[in-house]
Amino acid sequence: MKRFKTTKGLIGIVLLTLIALIAIVGPMVIPPDAATKMDMLARRSPPTWTHLLGTDQLGRDMLYRVILGARTSLEIAVSAVVMSVVLGLPLGLVSGYFGGWVDNVLMRLVDTLLAFPALLLALSISAVLGPNVQNTIIAIGVAFTPYLARIIRGEALKVAQMPYVEAARASGTTDGMIMMRHVLPNIMPAVIVQATISLAFAILAEAGLSFLGLGTQPPAASWGLMIQASRDQLDVAPWTALVPGAAVALTVLGLNMFGDVLRDILDPKSK
Amino acid sequence: MKRREFLLNSTAVMGGSILMGTFAGPALAQETPVSGGTLIWGHSETTQNLDMHQTGTASSGRVLQNIHSSIVTVDKDLNVIPGLAESFEVAPDGLTYTFKLRPNVKFHNGATMTSADVKYSFERCKDPATGAVNFEVFNNVAAIETPDDLTVVIKMSAVNAPFLSRLAENGAGVVMPVDSGPTQGTNPMGAGPFKFVSYEVGTVVKMARFDDYWEGPAYLDAVEAREITEPTTRLTGLRTGELHMINDIPLDRVGELEADATLQVKKWFPLNFDFINMNHTYEPFQNSKVRIAFDMIIDKEALMQGALWGQGATTASPSFPTSASYNKDLVQRKQDIEGAKALLAEAGYPEGSLNIVFKATTNYPYHIETAQILVEWFKMAGVNLTIEQLTWADWLSQCWVDKDYQMTMMNFFTLWEPDFLYYSVWNSEGAFNYRAVKDPKIDELTKQARITVDDVARADIYKQVQQQIFDEAHDVLLWFRNGTIGAQTKVMGLDTVVHPNGSNLNFHKVWLSA
Amino acid sequence: MTYVLNRLLSVILTLFLITLVTFAVTNILPGDVAMMIMGTQSNPEALEGLRQSLGLNDPLIMQYGNWVGGLLTGDWGTSLIFKKPIAELLAQKAVASAIIVVMSMTIALTLAVPLGVWAAVHRDRWQDTVSSSTSLLGVSLPDFFWGIVMILVFARWLGWFPSSGIVEPSEDFLGSLRYAFLPSLALGLGLMAHLTRMTRSTMTGILGQEFIRVARAKGLTERTVVWRYALANAIGPVITIAGLQIGYLFGSIIVMESLFGYTGMGWLTYQALLNRDLPLIQATVFVIAAVVMITNLLVDLLYVLIDPRVKLG
């Protein structure tokens, strides 16, 4: 059983390392215009020796696009999730730890954001700030914040009622100290799990946003943009969806395997 | 490609006997249309306001065209011909129009149309409070008189040569029963071949045959316009047989449907023209050398094959191709990257010095494809093009209203009335001059055309306008795009369905074979 | 009881906040409905006329006041693009979306809970991996991908379900379910992953607890221990997540409803947004927000009922 766990973690780490490597090394090895070079005589070509993973509707090589897209997609996903953690963690922590009116006020704010359709937010951002990668990160980051805040608050609420926290309080430790020393480490597993899941969602959210024109701007490649472009050709050129889809799926799988093991290591309850 | 065609032919031969059987039925029946049946049409867009006057979108117009009749209309050569008016007359001074109405034309409510209805409809359209899209058609109208039940006399305060043509166009010339205005939005009523039955927002518009239609009753009992905006879904509906017919086949799929013997594809030309726009207030584009160089970077034929999948034809003139004003002598500039580079350098923009943002709207997916192909060519010419995708609302407000862009592209339904086209789009005071084109020669010519009554002379002026647009490369004209309809083979009379203007559909003479 | 009252009060407060935010955001959006109606036929003069006749030129404060006043008195105004009373539009579309939301949640829970329990019971063995991979598949690709696959498989190839459209439940209830099924299935697959994970992790925690060991020691069958005792304790967090997903669902139905031509609330919201139909945007956003808030409220109350460890605040 222990061995299995190690293997699983190992697979996760290997997967993630590979993907990270591709994202970092890919752009150094592959000529930068490889992802945008069009071959109008080979549009929607299924995988062949010249195009190992086929081509898209403009005859662009899917292999190059998926490799060069990795960087864009991961950059967007990671930045957006970091942003939502940076915003959501203090919100949830303070709210869950203090409870009472602080909790009430903060959670009303979070509820307002939660109930507000993310699409409206995305549309407003793209209309007012303009469509580009930076604003996509802002849109996803802000949209994810209330989810994170709510989950973190739930965890913090539980931890805050634990005997050792009450003991620390009784011994006169300041609230700030307790939060940093006792509450934060104990909610980290939940934060990590949530963040891994959010990463996957963020990659997909980018696809959703390119539906509105926000997100990576063509002809640059990103997984989300590629999946979005496959929408109208799924039945005639399934590889246009499967290639970026597989990339996202493998990343998500890697993140989850890694996250599970990390959680087992970090979470004292499951020891 | 050759090989594929060959394969197709051999399949056809192999399945010949069966195919013959299916083909024979409709072929025989074609001579004798039968009445009955409900046509299920997969409509590509959402119908909005049902009030013909207040509707600017092609989507609603496409449906409402079947409910209304217009006072005049056009034949396939775009000559204005009688509609609800059996004859019309323009006084030599161009200030008085006299319409003789057809007797016994019935509205869907059973009432008989009279001159009072015409007066009511036109005055309603003219009234700014109505919020009519085409109200400016009546700008020069001083008075509408009705000497008797079947005569309408329109007095103009100034000559407006395109007036009749504008009436024949979508919307403005439609006749509604007196006082039906307030209910037109929810219960549209007119004198068209089909009566409005119901509309479930975003889902379906149902229409039923109007037996007293003045041109004779339609064959179909009813038409159901199901609104399916997703192209792939629409295509699937046609293939599964849930839909008899769809409009707007995705450009990349036309070939696939044409190869399918169980379906028929009806194409027409042109649906609209497309052009690349350069904002004339943006400094580099104030120099005609830059604009001409940009024109030279673009291989129009390759672009058309790439973005439209060959569903169109390149053109250097935006005039309706069969119209008298179409300038056949214009030939698009050939792609010449080196020449373009030289010209740009001459204009003071050496390689790498131009960074241009190209705004394209996601409302037209082929605009995005066009932009992506352009990026590659412009890169070769040392111009860095960046794409910004905009929703339709954002495109309208940024490019159309605020003129806040450097480069973009747009399409127009073929505005076949040349004054409407050239004055609105290229005159410095034109309502659709969102590129801020300011060319004294064009201004002069378009003004002169408005008061030129002789048709040949008028057409000649417009040819000069096209020449000037081309010489100065005010915009880069690309192509005319095909319109498409896909249908089951049992849908008959599809040749009659498309209005000569290329954008409206009329089901009066469509029928279903058993 | 005070807790419930407090929560109710806060819901009302939040709804008020939402009206403010919605109104502010919709008014930031550039462009207006007049421009959308006229499109590329518009010119400044015509636009001004249309704006006047649509009442778009009223001062903002007045517009806001009219709107909130209307909300309270039941006069929701008229959609500017569809020219129909908003209340009537909403009533019709809300039912359609309710069907999809309930159906997709049911599908997701039916698949996710057994999968999650199975994974927890066989934790760290192959079953666990199978379970997590299966559920991840659903979330690895966007909803619309599954939507298109459903249309291809179940409508085009098998012909079991209609490819698109909608039927009024009042006309033909079973028929309306048939039209709702494919979009719900596609949405359910997307929801499933999160719920499976949550079920697995809470179940794992609970299966390691003392009372489970006691129950096992008493000689209860493993099935009873897992499905009766453990699951009863794990369902709370799962329901919380399910409740939170309602908000996410209302985001997803926007794309899914358009894909399937299933014109419910999501579709209506999207049309309103795209066409800058401010009264309609405000109404749809308000209704969706209210539904999400009330669901969250119910979930919280339920959570308190189920999990006695959470003290009433």
B384 touches chain A (CB under 8 A): no
In a domain, C80, yes or no: no
pLDDT at B261 (0 to 100): 92
In a domain, C312, yes or no: no
Is there a single domain that holds both residue C115 and residue C228?
Answer: yes
Q: Is A47 left (phi over 0), alpha (psi -120 to 50) or beta?
A: beta
Q: Mapped to the 3 state alphabet, what secondary structure does B101-129 carry? A: ECCCCECCCCCECCHHHHHHHHHHHHCHH
Q: Is C294 left (phi over 0), alpha (psi -120 to 50) or beta?
A: alpha
CATH number at residue C219: 1.10.3720.10
CB contact under 8 A, A36 and B375: yes
- Choose the final residue of a domain: C73, C96, C116: C73
- pLDDT category at A4 given cuts 50, 70, 90 is low
Q: What is the mean pLDDT of residues C145-173?
A: 86
Name the amino acid, one letter, at B360. Answer: A
Is there a single domain that holds both residue C122 and residue C53?
Answer: no
Q: Which chains does chain C touch, 3 or more C-beta pairs < 8 A?
A: A, B
CB contact under 8 A, A236 and B372: no
- Choose the final residue of a domain: C16, C38, C73: C73
pLDDT at A234 (0 to 100): 83
Q: Which of B306, B362, B388 minimises the CB distance to A130?
A: B388
CB contact under 8 A, C82 and B410: no
pLDDT in tens, B461-490: 999 999 999 999 999 999 999 999 999 999
pLDDT at A269 (0 to 100): 52
CB contact under 8 A, C247 and A114: yes
Is there a single domain that holds both residue C296 and residue C192?
Answer: yes
Q: Would strands B222-227 and B407-413 be described as parallel, antiparallel, or unpaired?
A: unpaired
Among A6, A119, A209, most C C-beta atoms within 10 A, so best to mutate, is A119
Q: Which of C54, C152, C276 minimises the CB distance to B393?
A: C276
Among A112, A126, A148, most C C-beta atoms within 10 A, so best to mutate, is A112
Q: Classify A125 as helix, strand or coil.
A: helix
- pLDDT category at C173 given cuts 50, 70, 90 is confident
CB B102 within 8 A of CB B84: yes
Apex A56 CA angle, A53 and A60, nearest 5: 80
What six digits make up the tokens of C255?
């794309």
CB contact under 8 A, B306 and A38: yes
Q: Which chains does chain B touch, 3 or more C-beta pairs < 8 A?
A: A, C
CB C238 within 8 A of CB C199: yes
In a domain, C178, yes or no: yes
Q: Which percentage of chain C shows pLDDT scores above 90?
A: 13
DSSP state, residue A113? H
CB contact under 8 A, A114 and C292: yes
- Choose the final residue of a domain: C12, C46, C73: C73
Residue B54 with chain C: CB contacts under 8 Å: 37, 83
Task: Identify the closest residue of chain C to B225 by CA–CA distance.
Answer: C165
B252 touches chain A (CB under 8 A): yes
Residue C276 to residues C16, C26, C44, Cα–Cα distance (Å): 22, 8, 18
Which strands sit side by side in the sheet containing B85-90, from one edge to the other?
B85-90, B96-101, B151-156, B141-148
pLDDT at A169 (0 to 100): 86
Q: What is the mean pLDDT of residues A245-256?
A: 84
CB contact under 8 A, B389 and A213: yes
pLDDT in tens, A56-80: 999 999 999 999 999 999 999 999 9
Residue C43 with chain B: CB contacts under 8 Å: 136, 424, 431-432
E strand or H helix at A262:
helix A239-266
Distance (Å) from the alpha carbon of C81 to chain A's nearest alpha carbon: 18
Residue A58 with chain B: CB contacts under 8 Å: 306, 369, 372-373
Residues facing residue B354 across a β-bridge: B383
Chain A residues within 8 angstroms (CB to CB) of chain B: 33, 36-38, 40, 57-58, 123, 126-127, 130-132, 210-214, 217-219, 231-236
Is there a single domain that holds both residue C280 and residue C144?
Answer: yes
Q: Which of C39, C89, C156 minimises the CB distance to B239?
A: C156
Query: B90-93 contacts: CB < 8 A, separation 24 or more?
Result: B90/B164, B93/B159
What six digits make up the tokens of A81?
């999730």
pLDDT at B70 (0 to 100): 94
Residue B489 to residues B7, B239, B493, Cα–Cα distance (Å): 22, 12, 11
Centroid of chain to Cα A28:
24
Residues facing residue B154 across a β-bridge: B97, B144
Is there a single domain that holds both residue C275 and residue C139?
Answer: yes
pLDDT for C71 beyond 60: yes
Q: What is the mean pLDDT of residues C223-231?
A: 82
CA dist C311 and C313 (Å) reads 6
- pLDDT category at C307 given cuts 50, 70, 90 is low
Q: Which of C92, C164, C268 minimises the CB distance to B233?
A: C164
Q: What is the mean pLDDT of residues C292-301?
A: 82
Task: Provide the CATH number for the domain formed by A7-25+62-270 in this structure.
Answer: 1.10.3720.10
Q: Which domain holds residue C18?
A: 2-73
CB contact under 8 A, A232 and B231: yes
pLDDT in tens, A78-122: 999 999 999 999 999 999 999 888 988 888 888 888 777 777 777
CB contact under 8 A, A108 and C13: yes
Neighbours of B33 (CB within 10 A): 14
Residue ranges covered by each domain of chain A: 7-25+62-270
Q: Which domains does chain B have, with CATH numbers?
A: 68-179 (3.90.76.10), 270-481 (3.10.105.10)
Is there a single domain that holds both residue C259 and residue C213?
Answer: yes
Query: Which is it for the CA torsion B307, B313, B318, B322, positive or negative?
Result: negative
Q: Is B248 left (phi over 0), alpha (psi -120 to 50) or beta?
A: left
Apex B432 CA angle, B429 and B435, nearest 5: 80
Task: Identify the closest residue of chain A to B367 by CA–CA distance.
Answer: A218
For every residue of B220-275, DSSP letters joined together read: -SEEEEEE---HHHHHHHHHHTS-SEEES--GGGHHHHHT-TTEEEEEEEEEEEEE
Task: Identify the closest residue of chain B to C36 by CA–CA distance.
Answer: B393
CA dist C274 and A127 (Å) reads 11
Q: What is the mean pLDDT of residues C20-42?
A: 82
Residue A109 with chain C: CB contacts under 8 Å: 17
Taking the CA atoms of residue A247, residue A248, residue A249 and residue A252 in that order, the dihedral angle to the nearest 10 degrees is: 120
CB contact under 8 A, A131 and B389: yes
Distance (Å) from the alpha carbon of A210 to chain B's nearest alpha carbon: 9
Least confident of A241-245, B163-167, C47-51: C47-51
pLDDT at C306 (0 to 100): 66
Is there a single domain that holds both residue C133 and residue C58?
Answer: no
pLDDT in tens, A136-184: 999 999 988 988 898 899 889 888 888 888 888 888 888 888 888 888 8
What six digits make up the tokens of C156?
């085009």
What six digits make up the tokens of A173?
């430790």
pLDDT at A266 (0 to 100): 64
Query: Which is it for the CA torsion C264, C265, C270, C276, positive or negative?
Result: positive
Q: What is the pLDDT along chain B (514 residues), one digit of tens a residue?
A: 333 333 333 333 232 222 222 233 344 445 689 999 999 999 998 888 899 988 766 778 889 989 999 999 988 777 889 999 999 999 988 899 999 999 999 999 999 999 999 999 999 999 888 888 788 789 889 999 999 999 999 999 988 878 898 898 767 899 999 999 999 988 999 999 999 999 988 889 999 999 999 999 999 999 999 999 888 889 989 999 999 999 999 999 999 999 999 999 999 888 899 999 999 999 999 999 999 999 999 999 999 999 999 999 999 999 988 888 999 999 999 999 999 999 999 999 999 999 999 999 998 999 999 999 999 999 999 999 999 999 888 999 899 989 999 999 999 876 678 888 999 899 998 888 999 999 999 999 999 998 887 889 999 999 999 999 999 999 999 999 999 999 999 999 988 888 877 778 899 999 999 7
What six digits make up the tokens of B360?
């394209």
Residue C197 with chain A: CB contacts under 8 Å: 193, 197, 256
Least confident of B373-382, B397-406, C17-26, C46-55: C46-55
CA-based nearest residue to A116, from A87, A84, A139: A139
Instruction: Give the predicted TM-score (pTM) of the model.
Output: 0.87
Q: Which of A115, A201, A235 minimises the CB distance to C289?
A: A115
Q: Mapped to the 3 state alphabet, what secondary structure does chain C carry? A: CHHHHHHHHHHHHHHHHHHHHHHHHHHHCCCCHHHHHHHHHCCHHHHHHHHHHHCCCCCHHHHHHHHHHHHHHCCCCECCCCCCEHHHHHHHHHHHHHHHHHHHHHHHHHHHHHHHHHHHHCCCCHHHHHHHHHHHHHHHCCHHHHHHHHHHHHHHHCCCCCCCCCCCCCCCHHHHHHHHHHHHHHHHHHHHHHHHHHHHHHHHHHHCCHHHHHHHHCCCCHHHHHHHHHHHHHHHHHHHHHHHHHHHHHHHHHHHHHHCCCCCHHHHHHHHHHCCCHHHHHHHHHHHHHHHHHHHHHHHHHHHHHCCCCCCC
Residue A214 with chain B: CB contacts under 8 Å: 389
- pLDDT category at C270 given cuts 50, 70, 90 is confident
In a domain, C311, yes or no: no
Neighbours of A185 (CB within 10 A): 12
Among C48, C82, C255, C271, most B C-beta atoms within 10 A, so best to mutate, is C82
Residues facing residue B477 across a β-bridge: B275
CB A239 within 8 A of CB A45: no
Distance (Å) from the alpha carbon of B363 to chain A's nearest alpha carbon: 9
pLDDT in tens, C83-125: 889 999 999 899 999 999 999 999 999 999 999 888 888 887 8
Q: What is the mean pLDDT of residues C39-46?
A: 76
CA dist A179 and A98 (Å) reads 10
Q: Classify B63 as helix, strand or coil.
A: helix
Number of domains in chain C: 2
CB contact under 8 A, A252 and C139: yes
Residues facing residue A187 across a β-bridge: none
pLDDT at C37 (0 to 100): 82
CB contact under 8 A, B135 and C260: no
Q: Would strands B383-390 and B354-361 be described as parallel, antiparallel, or unpaired?
A: parallel
Residue C1 to residues A104, A105, C301, Cα–Cα distance (Å): 16, 20, 11
In a domain, C78, yes or no: no
Among C124, C156, C253, most A C-beta atoms within 10 A, so best to mutate, is C124
E strand or H helix at B488:
strand B475-488
pLDDT at A189 (0 to 100): 78
pLDDT at B82 (0 to 100): 93
What six digits make up the tokens of C149?
């696959």
CB contact under 8 A, C263 and B203: yes
E strand or H helix at A160:
helix A133-160
Q: What is the mean pLDDT of residues A229-234?
A: 85
The distance between the two most distant Cα atoms of chain C, rounded to a whole number of Å, is 85
